[in-house]
Amino acid sequence: MANSYTDVPEIKFHMEHPLMKRIVELKERNYADYGQYDYAPKDFEDAMDNYDRLLDITGDINANIIGPNSEDVDAEGPHCENGRVRYASKTYENLDATIKAGLCGMTMPRRYEGLNLPNVVYTAANEIIAEGDAGFENIWSLQDCIETLYEFGDEDQRRRYIPRVCAGETMSMDLTEPDAGSDLQSVMLKATFDEKENCWRLNGVKRFITNGDADIHLVLARSIEGTKDGRGLSMFIYDKRNGGVNVRRIENKLGIHGSPTCELVYKNAKAELCGSEKLGLIKYVMGLMNGARLGIASQSVGAEQAAYEEAINYARDRKQFGKEIINFPAVYDMISRIKAKLDAGRSLLYMTARYVDIYKCLDDISKERSLTPEERAEFKKYSKMADAFTPLAKGMNSEFANESSYDSIQVHGGSGFMLEYKCQRVYRDARIMSIYEGTTQLQTVAAIRYITSGFYEGIINEYAQEPVAAEYASYAERIAAMFEKLKAATAKAKEANNQEFLDLCSRHLYEMTAYVIMSHLLLQDVQRNVDLFKKSLVVFMNYAESKVEEHSNYIAKLDVDQLEAYRQE
């Protein structure tokens, strides 16, 4: 029987990375839950076996329920009825399956009835479900908003809300408003304290809210009257059981049809404050967004996997000029590149997830006891690594998802343009990935400071110190040459001492950085599993070199004097 986990050995490969030992040890607090909960692992091997079984179940549900339902969900979509969302009928089947399987509260501690999974494993489940249906993955994966409530809510809120999410209730994060998209500082939804009822009241409108009729909402609202920037914003919890929020309409979108994108009207909706006032945007949303960005990175890898499978399966079957089209260089050129980007992008995704795991676990432990000096150093290191890698993983994979789904249609020829083929849905679904949770342009903004500060340079230098087997020495040299080009381009962009010029260069520097890092990661991977990655290493290195050369050349020719030619009026 088809299984989206066991059929893709690359996912398991990433679960078995050497850093897992440290991650699991931290996440499981040296296996302290064993004996207290019947489903807690007793040691590292036991935990890894549990993860494997969980992903096997996820792969089974995706291949046999979510994937097969995706076409109907896409065609039917959700509807707005009397201020509520009615999902596509098969979305309910998908939800029923994931809830009965217990794929809820994935990363939450066991004391709140969660599965206590590391982020890496949750990321893998996310990728698997996104391969089947990116729209449904949105609904399912919004459960990770609970991380923010866990991190910043009080114990009473944790006890009341987390078990509900672990039992399958859905979540949403209500941030965007008609006049506050990328610029969340402009959020105007009003929060006022109701002295009589001793609760907060929310009034206003939110727009583009994914799964906006969820059971539990995290809402960004302005609680300090008269303020205009991010410092007046706080985070609130709205419980649908209390009422007061209605869905005014559901957007009609290009893709991810299964996921209801809602316009919400808050009318005196009862809410409770999450964490401290005024830290809503500055602290909590930033945490929420980093988690969400990693989520979109894994959704993008799922879309890349879907694009790859659709392309290769079609090319194996389709015959033209007397042979299967997979045999034509013009066709396998496209498919090999889809696969190479997929392998490199996936490696970047899981490395990011590992960095996130280590710092988040240590952060959580620091609330139970003080960290040792070594742990504090470890926390600092990985926290910064995670912050630097997240925009790379999100931006690059979402762009790859778009490029690969485009190529997947191209492999199909005219058939790919017909709605009967899945590749067109993957293409439509992928389009939003490089936009929401921060456009690629905003990922570049998040990454550029690590480029100019030399932080990525330090990481690349560290990677370059990793031992390389003799047969791969030439690859290491080629990466070193790419790195030199990156350094030269960065130096040029900085030397001009002109912020606008640097901003104009930033996308190029961002991509060059990502290609150098992904090349290193793929080189590490191939040495752990030759069979899985030997082809992609060859193809990706050729591709990465050509991209680095392209950007290097662009920046070499770019000059401050040319800015006027770029400006648009």
Query: Is 566 among the residues that bind another protein (CB under 8 A)?
Result: no
Nearer to another protein, 3 or 536 (CB): 3
Query: Is 205 among the residues that bind another protein (CB under 8 A)?
Result: no
Out of 35, 36, 38, 368, which residue is the one contacting another protein (CB under 8 A)?
38
∠ at Cα 204 (163, 281), nearest 5°? 60
Residue-wise DSSP of 214-265: -SEEEEEEE-STT--SGGGEEEEEEEGGG--EEEEEE---SS-TTS-EEEEE
Nearer to another protein, 44 or 554 (CB): 44
Contacts with another protein by CB under 8 A: the residue count is: 18
Q: Which stretch binds another protein (CB under 8 A): 93-101, 234-242, 289-297, 509-517?
A: 93-101
Determine how β-strand 216-222 pairs with β-strand 171-174.
parallel
Least gap, CB of 41 to another protein (angstroms): 7
Here the tokens at position 538 are 């060859």
Residue numbers 421-480 binding another protein by CB under 8 A:
none
Cα–Cα dist 134/90, whole Å: 14
Residue numbers 94-133 binding another protein by CB under 8 A:
97, 100-103, 115
Query: Is 68 among the residues that bind another protein (CB under 8 A)?
Result: no
Least gap, CB of 39 to another protein (angstroms): 4
Least gap, CB of 67 to another protein (angstroms): 14
- Max Cα-Cα span within the chain: 80
Tell me if residue 9 falls in helix, strand or coil.
helix
Cα–Cα dist 165/462, whole Å: 40
Here the tokens at position 72 are 């109907």
Least gap, CB of 75 to another protein (angstroms): 22
Nearer to another protein, 97 or 292 (CB): 97
Question: x/- string (CB under 8 A) for another protein, residues 43-62?
Answer: ------xx--xx--x--xx-
Q: What is the CA radius of gyration of the chain?
A: 24
DSSP H or E stretch at residue 367: none
Least gap, CB of 61 to another protein (angstroms): 6
Find all residues with CB under 8 Å of 60, minimum gap 6, and list them: 1, 3, 5
Residue numbers 214-273 binding another protein by CB under 8 A:
none
Tell me if residue 104 falls in helix, strand or coil.
coil
N residues, the chain: 569
Least gap, CB of 100 to another protein (angstroms): 5
Least gap, CB of 123 to another protein (angstroms): 16
Question: x/- string (CB under 8 A) for another protein, residues 400-419?
Answer: --------------------
Nearer to another protein, 57 or 265 (CB): 57
Out of 2, 7, 16, 39, which residue is the one contacting another protein (CB under 8 A)?
39
Least gap, CB of 64 to another protein (angstroms): 9
Least gap, CB of 65 to another protein (angstroms): 8
For residue 430, which of 398, 407, 408 has the smallest C-alpha distance? 398
C-alpha distances (whole Å) from 218 to each of 142, 144, 212, 292, 538 are 11, 11, 10, 13, 45
Nearer to another protein, 94 or 536 (CB): 94
- Spatial contact of 272 and 129, defined as CB atoms under 8 Å apart: no
Q: What's phi and psi for 320, nearest 5 deg?
A: -145, 145
Nearer to another protein, 115 or 214 (CB): 115
Cα–Cα dist 147/158, whole Å: 10
* DSSP, res 59: H
Query: Is 41 among the residues that bind another protein (CB under 8 A)?
Result: yes
- Spatial contact of 284 and 148, defined as CB atoms under 8 Å apart: yes
Nearer to another protein, 162 or 548 (CB): 162
Nearer to another protein, 114 or 395 (CB): 114
Nearer to another protein, 61 or 448 (CB): 61
Tell me if residue 271 falls in helix, strand or coil.
strand
For residue 529, which of 50, 48, 15 has the smallest C-alpha distance? 15
Q: Which stretch binds another protein (CB under 8 A): 35-43, 191-199, 338-346, 532-540?
A: 35-43
For residue 214, which of 297, 108, 314, 95 has the smallest C-alpha distance? 95
Nearer to another protein, 103 or 393 (CB): 103
- Spatial contact of 486 and 461, defined as CB atoms under 8 Å apart: no
Query: Is 151 among the residues that bind another protein (CB under 8 A)?
Result: no
Least gap, CB of 33 to another protein (angstroms): 11
Least gap, CB of 54 to another protein (angstroms): 5
Here the tokens at position 55 are 């992903």
Query: Is 539 among the residues that bind another protein (CB under 8 A)?
Result: no
Nearer to another protein, 53 or 241 (CB): 53
Least gap, CB of 85 to another protein (angstroms): 25
Nearer to another protein, 104 or 331 (CB): 104
Cα–Cα dist 134/305, whole Å: 12
Strands (DSSP E) contained in 274-408 are 319-320, 323-324
Cα–Cα dist 28/526, whole Å: 30
Least gap, CB of 400 to another protein (angstroms): 30
Strands (DSSP E) contained in 29-155 are 79-81, 84-86
Nearer to another protein, 57 or 205 (CB): 57
Residue numbers 359-378 binding another protein by CB under 8 A:
none
Least gap, CB of 517 to another protein (angstroms): 33
Nearer to another protein, 97 or 139 (CB): 97
Query: Is 564 among the residues that bind another protein (CB under 8 A)?
Result: no
Q: Which residues bind another protein (CB under 8 A)?
A: 38-41, 49-50, 53-54, 57, 60-61, 65, 97, 100-103, 115
